[in-house]
Amino acid sequence: MRYYSTRDKEHSVDFATAALKGLAADGGLYVPESVPLLPASVRSSLATMDFRDVAYETARPFVGGCMSAATLRDLVQDAYPFGAPLVAADDRFVLELFHGPTAAFKDFGARFMARAFAYFRRGEDRPLRILVATSGDTGGAVADGFFGVEGIEVTVLYPKGRVSPLQERQIAGLGGNISALSVEGSFDDCQALVKRAFADPELSRRLSLSSANSINISRLVPQAVYYVAAAGKAAAGKADEDGEATPRVSGYPAPRRESAGGKAVFCVPSGNFGNLTAGLYARAMGAPIDLFVAATNANRTVPLYLETGSYEPRKSVPTLSNAMDVGAPSNFERMTAHWSHLELSRVIKGVWTDDAATKATIERVHSRFGYILDPHGAVGWNALDELKAKGEPLPPVRVLLATAHPAKFAETVEPLVGPVKAPASLTAAMGRTVVSKTIPADFAALADSL
């Protein structure tokens, strides 16, 4: 498999080069020359396959000749001691992506990346410096995934005062090879600083730089895995039993465990649009997915594009669902490198939700169904409800991506529903001390820090 820049189809690289470089030299994002189709034998077996086997089969054609089959199998076995349960709630499935060590969907990409980078960098003397901008969960997942990995140093940029206290401890509480910069600005400012760093010839001369945001293709490939796995189960009408971290309240009627099955609509809480792009890849690979719902908060750049055909990036505004506070989503460039506006608008419905509706949804779902949503999941749940109320023709099989555990946002969720039991990994993280350096949203300040 070869990868080319979204801005230059003439120059291509292999997976290892695309992963380690992060961004192409011209500032573009790497995309695969084609999206591979899963073998028919795999597509027909998805409902019964182990998650790690799905991960191997999904990643194998993307990785190409950059690692052996045995190495890739070992990598996914080590990366995923956890899975992604597809549980039932009301008239939909919830795909719980928070059973990893930082209780957010970013664990799937970060842990794959860390192991792949360590393999690709074996034998190198010069350390690799990873720069990552985060609006919340990415930073914690990357910090955890790369913590203690020999030969790799990580610097995480996050917007000061715009991440939750727990997220900040996950980002800036580990030390070691992980450092944190608190930027006086928005996520978009952090992201712009990272992009400029990659484009700066002096920094490139002094440091071996790479990225771990969803601009990096090696973040997206493993995220396609849980779409493929969940779509196979949903198509067969099957749901999993609750996992250890499932935030369901006792005393409510038992949820249904089976449905009629069929191709599903996946509702994706969306910010930088890497997660939804991974879903588009999964669909193109042959996973039984019909449609997507791009559920955003007030930062509704892409829903407006889907409606009008005009893409107008704007400054992000802070919301309760802070990991989605992105006004200029990077992966829009990757989406439109593969698909036209007409093609995207046929398979994606855009819905945005304000903070008042987000709170109301958390309360409603808890009181009626005994399930606790985080603010991002609530944006997605409300989007499905809005489309349903408007009579939009949606497939009967509906899957909501729950991208983070509600305990990560206790300051928002607990006043609405009461105490939320936190997974053990989050309880441990809250005991960490934040160690970060505050810098202005200025490239000279970033370069000086590096």
Quick: pLDDT tens for 138-175: 888 899 999 998 889 999 999 999 888 888 999 999 99
Residue 348 DSSP label: E
Candidates 450, 448, 442; CA nearest to 193 is 442
The string of pLDDT tens digits covering residues 3-39 is 999 999 888 999 999 999 888 988 899 999 999 999 9
pTM above 0.75, yes or no: yes
Which pLDDT score, from 0 to 100, does residue 198 have? Answer: 87
Q: Does 347 fall in a domain?
A: yes
Q: How far apart are CA 227 and CA 278, in angstroms?
A: 8
pLDDT at 234: 95
Within-domain flag for 437: no
Does 72 map to a domain? no
Query: Pick from 282, 330, 322, 266: which is nearest to 302 by CA?
Result: 330
pLDDT at 359 over 90: yes
| Residue 7: both structure tokens together | 């801005």
**pLDDT mean over 386-397:** 94
User: Rounded distance, CA 93 to CA 255, Å?
Assistant: 10
The answer on pLDDT for 291 being more than 90 is: yes
Q: Is pLDDT above 90 for 383? A: yes
Q: Please state, in angstroms and rounded to a whole number, the distance separating the CA atoms of residues 369 and 31.
A: 41
Token pair recorded at residue 305 = 């594009």
Q: Is residue 66 part of a domain?
A: no
Per-residue confidence at 116, pLDDT binned at 50, 70, 90? very high
Instruction: Determine the pLDDT at residue 351.
Output: 97
Residues contacting 368, CB < 8 A, separation 6+: 90
Q: What pLDDT, on the 0 to 100 scale, is given for residue 213?
A: 75
DSSP 268: E
Centre a 10 Å sphere on the Cβ of residue 257 and count the other Cβ atoms it contains: 12
Q: What is the pLDDT of residue 248?
A: 96
Per this entry, what is the length of the chain? 450
User: 389-392 long-range CB contacts below 8 Å, 24 or more apart?
Assistant: 392/349
C-alpha count within 13 angstroms, C-beta hemisphere, residue 321: 35
Q: What is the mean pLDDT of residues 64-75?
A: 95
**pLDDT the model gives residue 310:** 95
Three-state DSSP class for residue 8: strand
360: containing domain: 83-101+219-420
pLDDT digits (tens, 9 = 90+) for 98-114: 999 999 999 999 999 99
Residue 258's pLDDT is: 72
Q: 54 vs 106, 108, 195, 230, CA distance in Å?
A: 18, 13, 33, 10
- Please return the burial class of 432, using the count of CB atoms within 10 Å of its CB with bins 0-12, 13-18 and 19+: middle
Strands 92-96 and 86-89: antiparallel
Alpha-carbon torsion (155, 58, 259, 261), positive or negative:
positive
**Residue 413 pLDDT level (bands cut at 50, 70, 90):** very high
Q: What is the CATH number of the domain that holds 289?
A: 3.40.50.1100
Number of domains in the chain: 1
Q: Under a CB-based contact definition with an 8 Å cutoff, are residues 137 and 404 in contact?
A: yes
The mean-pLDDT minimum among 214-218, 391-395, 402-406 falls in 214-218
Q: Residue 345: pLDDT band by 50, 70, 90 thresholds?
A: very high
What is the structure's pLDDT at 150?
Answer: 85
The predicted-structure confidence for 321-343, as pLDDT tens digits, reads as follows 988 988 999 899 999 999 999 99
Higher pLDDT, 136 or 293: 293
Evaluate whether residue 383 is within a structural domain.
yes
Cβ–Cβ under 8 Å, residues 68 and 59: no
Q: Is the pLDDT of residue 48 over 90?
A: yes
119 domain residue, yes or no:
no
Query: Is 205 in a helix, a strand, or coil?
Result: helix
Mean pLDDT, residues 123-137: 86
- E-strand ranges in 230-298 read 264-269, 289-296
> 41 in a domain, yes or no?
no
**What is the structure's pLDDT at 449?**
94
- Per-residue pLDDT reduced to its tens digit, 234-261: 999 999 999 999 999 988 877 776 777 8
Instruction: Please determine, for residue 442, whether its predicted confidence score (pLDDT) is greater than 90.
Output: yes
Sequence-separated (6 or more) residues with CB below 8 Å from residue 214? 109, 138, 220, 223, 272, 273, 274, 275, 277, 330, 331
What integer best gives the mean pLDDT of the chain? 93
The answer to whether the beta carbons of residues 117 and 154 sit under 8 Å apart is no
Residues 165, 273: Cα–Cα separation, whole Å: 24
Cα atoms found within 13 Å of the Cα of residue 7, Cβ hemisphere only: 9
The shares of helix, strand and coil residues in the chain, as percent rounded to the nearest 5, are 45, 20, 35
Q: Does 90 reside within a domain?
A: yes
Q: Which residue has the higher pLDDT, 322 or 45?
A: 45
